[in-house]
Structure 1
Amino acid sequence: MKKLLLFGLSFLSIAVSAQTTSKAVVSKKADALEKQIIAWRRDFHEHPELGNREVRTAGIIAAYLKSLGIEVQTGVATTGVVGILKGGKPGPVVALRADIDALPVTERVDIPFASKVKTQYNGQEVGVMHACGHDSHISILMGVANILSSMKADLRGTVKFIFQPAEEGVPLGEKGGAEEMVKQGVLENPKVDAIFGLHINSQTPVGKIVYRPGGTMAGVSDLQIIVKGRSAHGAYPWSSIDPVVVSAQIISSLQSVVSRNVNVTENPAVVTIGVIQGGTRFNIIPETVKMQGTLRYFTADDEKLVIGNVKRIATKTAEAYGATAEVLAPYSNHYPVTFNDVALTEKMLPTLQATAGRENVLLRPPVTGAEDFSFYQQKVPGIFFFLGGMPKDGNPITAPSHHTPDFYLDESGFTLGVKALCNLTLDYMAMGKGK
């Protein structure tokens, strides 16, 4: 028994030593790639493309993966690229994901590689900008592909590199994003056992990684409410059923969904109306008012509760005034909760801590933003974490946020993302499938 125990301890020591060695190798390779990663990022930043339009971006990714000897699939979910790297030893299949699309935002940042691109989006001319950091995600994952392909002979399993289009959504009438990639079989052939993804954050200092087990980003449904009344001259409101007044009452009443229906001590929720449209002239009461908004929640039960109460309040309030309300939720998009598998997060947390330093890996509160990485997590266990992209002397309160013209990233934090994704992959493989 003593000999068996000593053998087991010896084997564990060898395994730990091997993992420590692999992290040192990864760190050295990532540091050597830093200038290339930044150069890639700057090129993608200067040439951004909207969802389902990432033709140039996808072409660069595919060509680079092929140059590394990685099997490449293109045209997945319109413009997605998938690389498959088969290791020299048997083991699990790990997927790594980067989103590749930009946003309809006109850049204001004074940098040499600022975007000057303009295009048409939903019938309007818009600027195009990587205002959420997807350019850094692409470059980080290309760096990971470089490092892991150089370790192919010793790789204990297979890696799928998923470069996904249209995370920010697509124009009305189109399909795209993670949901479409899953439908087209990106998690099959070979079947993925676990998936890892990251998101740069402009309000988290470089060198930091933040994470949360369970619900980490909100599920989201967009919302449309069409209120129909009876039109009349503005001087004779008693002849109308005024949909503007009805809509005002609906908006006010919807605030009670979170404050009076959701148990906010367990999970947060959001009900926001962002658009209200009605009328053509100051002295005409319109027949119809249209509202659009967003709903956020962190559990399937709260999703049902929030949507159910929004529909009930809108329709019954309209009925009380003699009007009608048609409620569509979801209207055009729906993302599930981004849910980090609790057991997998617990198992892989030491890897993140060993990579960034225990003091630099921080537990964060849930985020009411949404991510379509959640569609992958519905099918396989996954972890989605955040990577610091704010200068160390920056202020999280005043640092420009994502999706704004002034969005800015400190590029010195990119290599930590490369190291984290590489080490998560190698350590998961070392643990073995199902362990």
Structure 2
Amino acid sequence: MNRSYMVKASKWVLAGVIASSSSFMAQAGSTIDVKQLSLGVEPSVIEWRRDLHQHPELSNREFRTSKVIKQHLESLGLEVRAGIAHTGVVAILKGGMPGPLIALRADMDGLPVTEEVDLPFASKATDTYRGQEVGVMHACGHDTHVAILMGVAQNLVKVKDQLKGDVMFIFQPAEEGAPAGEEGGAELMLKEGLFADRKPEKIFGLHVTSSMPTGMIGLRAGPAMASEDSFTIKVSGKQTHGSRPWNGVDPIVASAQIINGVQTIISRQVDVTAAPAVVSFGAINGGIRSNIIPDEVKLIGTIRTFDQDMRADIKLRLANTATMIAQSMGATATTLIDQGYPVTVNDVQLVAEMKPVLADIVGEQMLIEPGLITGAEDFSYYALETPGLFFFLGVTPAGIDHKTAASNHSPRFYVDESALVVGVEALTQLAVTSLK
């Protein structure tokens, strides 16, 4: 994908973001000019982002990334803890006055994707993934998340004496999922005591997306992103020659009936007016010859929901459907469900409190309520522990249709860096406002 690297910010971005008024700060009586702080750190944020983009690392292998973050946070004089959940980095900023602890989170890992974007700092990195040599790329924008939070930390250190409370900076590995046989991500950070000594009263996070124009913010109260569970159904029959199926039990036909039966879980058994849900099969593996009916077939797929009770119900229905259909055909079915990320839920009260803050930064027209997202995020684990707010930041530049732009996880995923300062300002202002 050939694109000029230097993309000029469109007029509405300049008017709505860079030159937006500071009315909220004036109304709140703040003496902290968050906009100017953020503009001041913008060149460094872009430099950090380019360095991280050029040196991506896979989940639980973010060793260089962790070192870069740690060195920066220590240079700011922060209390730093490294090595949590393998490569995670956590720092605490103590405000000048007593008050609550809040947390800000950024994820760190890249993806096994070979970059196809024509940039002077494009990734050439490679690594081994599931036994194969692969390219590695920040195809989901985690490099921008890290750089933004590094900038926010620098901003807040400069005004720490005016903060009524403390800030926890969380740089988290393995959001894309730990390697097979390993633990990782937000769940492991919590397991290793991230909130053990002192739980934050609220937590904030962001995610860049190509599905919105540069500088636009998407924020939704309540369920925002789906839970994710993967499943494997092993259907066992009895091998026989294809010309004499009555001498065996055909797991392929049983699997076909199971696939069809599972579709009725969503269409006929759960109340989709309460919350949407998805069950999809991603692979069917069984057999090797045209005239041999095999002993076994494996089906794998995913479950996505926006309600924890519905999530549990669908899992039970999936296993029961597979078991009963297989039995009706003389076969057996064993269902294994690998529990993934919970539903990402934005605290309704916290969203109501902070929505005016974000609107003041980007303007009412640039703050939208996106639809439900069936993708999953392990920020959800933090939001189960304390009220959370997770928002999206558009990074598709003017002149490119955000509806057709290369999506997150694509080898052609592209970030307009003029959006980064908006992310820095947003997270900084959310922290400042929370600690008034």
Q: After TM superposition, is the score higher than 0.5?
A: yes
Which residue identity does 1:145 align to in structure 2? A
Note if 1:334 corresponds to 2:340: yes
Structure 2: any 5+ residue segments left out of the alignment?
1-22
Note if 1:351 corresponds to 2:357: yes
Task: Render the CA deviation track for 1:87-134: whole Å, top value 9, x for unaligned.
Answer: 111111010000000111122222222211111112222211111110
Preserved contact between residue 357 and residue 430 of structure 2 (Cα < 8 Å): yes
Output the CA distance in 2 between the equivalents of 1:22 and 1:40: 28
Output the CA distance in 1 between the equivalents of 2:42 and 2:266: 45
Offset at 1:274? 0.7
Output the CA distance in 1 between the equivalents of 2:276 and 2:429: 33
Note if 1:51 corresponds to 2:21: no
User: CA RMSD of the aligned region, Å?
Assistant: 1.6
Which residue identity does 1:17 align to in structure 2? A
Could you tell which deviates more after superposition, 158-167 or 202-211? 202-211
- Select the residue among 288, 300, 306 that pairs with 2:296: 288
- Which residues in structure 2 correspond to 1:409-424 (within 5 Å)? 409-424=415-430
Task: Render the CA deviation track for 1:306-359: whole Å, top value 9, x for unaligned.
Answer: 112111111111111111110012x2x411110011111111111111121122
Task: Render the CA deviation track for 1:43-90: whole Å, top value 9, x for unaligned.
Answer: 111111111100000000000000011110000011000011101111
- Select the residue among 298, 306, 310 that pairs with 2:314: 306
Q: Which residue of 2 aligns with 1:407?
A: 413
Output the CA distance in 2 between the equivalents of 1:375 and 1:225: 27
Q: Which residue of 2 aligns with 1:130?
A: 138
Q: Which residue of 2 aligns with 1:398?
A: 404
Q: Which residue of 1 aligns with 2:128?
A: 120
Q: Which residue of 2 aligns with 1:11?
A: none
Output the CA distance in 2 between the equivalents of 1:69 and 1:142: 13
Output the CA distance in 2 between the equivalents of 1:136 and 1:256: 41
- Select the residue among 207, 214, 217 that pairs with 1:209: 217
Output the CA distance in 1 between the equivalents of 2:258 and 2:24: 61
Residues 404, 16 of structure 1: CA spacing in aligned structure 2 closer, same or farther, 3 A cutoff? closer
Note if 1:17 corresponds to 2:26: yes
Which residue identity does 1:425 align to in structure 2? A
Which residue identity does 2:96 align to in structure 1? G
- Select the residue among 373, 387, 392 that pairs with 1:381: 387
Output the CA distance in 1 between the equivalents of 2:228 and 2:31: 39
TM-score by length of 2: 0.92
Structure 1: any 5+ residue segments left out of the alignment?
1-13, 431-435
Output the CA distance in 2 between the equivalents of 1:279 and 1:103: 32
TM-score by length of 1: 0.92
Output the CA distance in 2 between the equivalents of 1:394 and 1:264: 35
Preserved contact between residue 56 and residue 138 of structure 2 (Cα < 8 Å): yes
Residues 80, 145 of structure 1: CA spacing in aligned structure 2 closer, same or farther, 3 A cutoff? same
Q: Which residue of 1 aligns with 2:19?
A: none
Output the CA distance in 2 between the equivalents of 1:297 and 1:193: 27
Offset at 1:20? 5.8
Note if 1:360 corresponds to 2:366: yes
